[in-house]
Chain A
Amino acid sequence: DIQMTQSPSSLSASVGDRVTITCRASQSVSSYLNWYQQKPGKAPKLLIYAASNLQSGLPSRFSGSGYETDFTLTISSLQLEDFATYYCQQSYSIPWTFGQGTKVEIK
């Protein structure tokens, strides 16, 4: 299985901050990398697909980049509604696997 490792596991930030979350794959996943946001008690929500494509209807402050093993999710200016846990997921090879999550908390 391809292991997905996110860093940091958690971070504290303020509204307006630029936030960067990293996801590293144990082997190349090309651009087959997706990002999700999850709030407590809710299902995950797709943010970014195929490494850098913003899901329809979502704000442009979310962006993704990366290729092969190293990927980044960036929130350019953190808003109150962005405090949540973020997960990466690879869809390069079965089984699809997720990172362990990065919790973004209010400073």
Chain B
Amino acid sequence: QVHLQESGPGLVKPSETLSLTCTVSGGSISSRGYYWGWIRQSPGNGLEWIGSLYNSGSTYYSGSTYYNPSLKSRVTISGDPSKNQFSLKLISVTASDTAVYFCARDDKMGTILSDAFDVWGQGTMVTVSS
């Protein structure tokens, strides 16, 4: 059974970089067909998809990422197959980035391959404050 666990600082200062890691157990982030995503939840903005990563595990093809356009200029999602982890970096944070951050497996489900988040981490609260 796949299990995801977020880790990282719970407090980040304004204008600095938010960095979180998701450790995957019970499965590989290089598993064919799976994407790995980040979603955040705040009282003001509800659930917001940040981006997703496909890590092929291939030497010749590093995979692909796609991001929410509203955050794209500030976000990087990357994978480390050797540690079976993927990470989120969000630069130049402000108070509006305060949220619970979830990592999740983004699977293409059903005959129409609908992207759905079928396995989630427990979430980690990140507060942006000086």
Contacts and interface: CB of A to CB of B under 8 A. Distances in A.
B120 to A, nearest CB: 4
A98 B47 contact: yes
B68 interface: yes
Contact of A43 (B49, B70, B112, B122): B122
B116 interface: yes
Question: Is chain B's interface secondary structure helix, strand, loop, or mixed overall?
Answer: strand
B79 interface: no
A21 to B, nearest CB: 15
Given A31-B112, A98-B47, A44 B117 contact: yes
Nearest to A53: B110
A32 interface: yes
Interface residues of A, number: 28
B68 A34 contact: no
Contacts of B111: 50
Contact of B66 (A1, A51, A94): A94
A52 B49 CA distance: 22
Name the residue among B46, B111, B117, B120 with the largest chain A CB count within 10 angstroms.
Answer: B117
A32 B125 CA distance: 29
B121 A101 contact: no
A95 B68 contact: yes
A46 B112 contact: no
A46 B46 contact: no
Interface of B: 46-49, 66-70, 102, 104, 109-112, 114-118, 120-123
Ranked nearest first, the 8 interchain pairs of A and B with the lowest CB-CB distance are A50-B110, A43-B120, A91-B115, A98-B47, A95-B68, A50-B114, A49-B109, A96-B49
